[in-house]
């Protein structure tokens, strides 16, 4: 089992979870966000390398002491990491149990992919763009049906305390009023931790 990567970024602090973390960024994404920061995940020529689970684990072991000493671990991002849920699940089964697992995702995947990794995830960072389906479609080129279904699945399984939801203000696409409406909808599902920020062009 191999997965394509666009980057591995070590020694990250206060960006992907507690302690020292390493970001593993996968190639591939179902969305085409207009202001995407990681557009390299879209085209095959931007694949940095392909790795299997054992190879990745061996490489990341170099920072085992940092992870153990600081309560850190691995953040899977991308692109969309849940496109590689089987890979992540196998990695989590093999990694030292003290490593925390963080996930940066849009949730724009079938719920079965979320279910596969949920037992292993310490904390989720979910970038929902906007809860309004028209704004979501205009900005991402897709629809938010899967994202909504996955948010409901997480809420139904009482995982809200493990989730930070990112609520961006997106120039030319949404407003503060739209963002407040999104937050109200999410609060109705029991989510409480929101990262409100502005996209800077």
H or E segment at 8? strand 2-13
**Residues with Cβ within 8 Å of residue 39, at least 6 apart in sequence:** none
CATH number, span 2-198 = 3.20.20.70
pLDDT of residue 15: 83
Domain map (residue ranges) of the chain: 2-198
Give the three-state DSSP class for 136.
helix
What are the phi and psi torsion angles at 100 (to 5°)? -75, 150
pLDDT tens readout for residues 175-195: 999 999 999 999 999 999 999
Average pLDDT of the segment spanning 85-94: 98
pLDDT tops 80 at residue 201: no
Residue in 68, 120, 58, 124 with CA at minimum distance from that of residue 99: 68
- CA pair distance 94, 88, nearest whole angstrom: 10
């Amino acid at each position: 089992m191999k997965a394509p990567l666009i980057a591995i970024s070590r020694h990250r602090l206060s960006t992907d979870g507690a302690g020292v973390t390493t970001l593993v960024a996968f190639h591939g994404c179902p969305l085409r966000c207009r202001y995407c920061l990681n557009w390299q995940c879209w085209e095959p020529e931007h694949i940095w390398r392909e790795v299997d689970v054992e190879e990745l684990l061996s490489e990341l072991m170099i920072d085992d002491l940092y992870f153990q000493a600081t309560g850190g671990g691995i953040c899977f991002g991308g692109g969309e990491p849940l496109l590689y849920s089987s890979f992540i699940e196998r990695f989590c089964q093999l990694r030292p149990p003290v490593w925390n697992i963080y996930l940066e995702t849009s949730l724009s995947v079938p719920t079965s992919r979320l279910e596969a990794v949920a037992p292993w995830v310490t904390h989720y960072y979910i970038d929902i763009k906007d809860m309004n389906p028209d704004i979501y479609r205009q900005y991402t080129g897709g629809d938010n049906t899967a994202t909504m279904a996955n948010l409901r699945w997480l809420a139904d399984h009482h995982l809200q305390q493990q989730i930070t939801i990112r609520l961006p203000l997106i120039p030319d696409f949404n407003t503060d009023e739209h963002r407040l409406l999104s937050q109200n909808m999410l609060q109705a599902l029991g989510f409480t931790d929101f990262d409100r920020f502005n996209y800077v062009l």
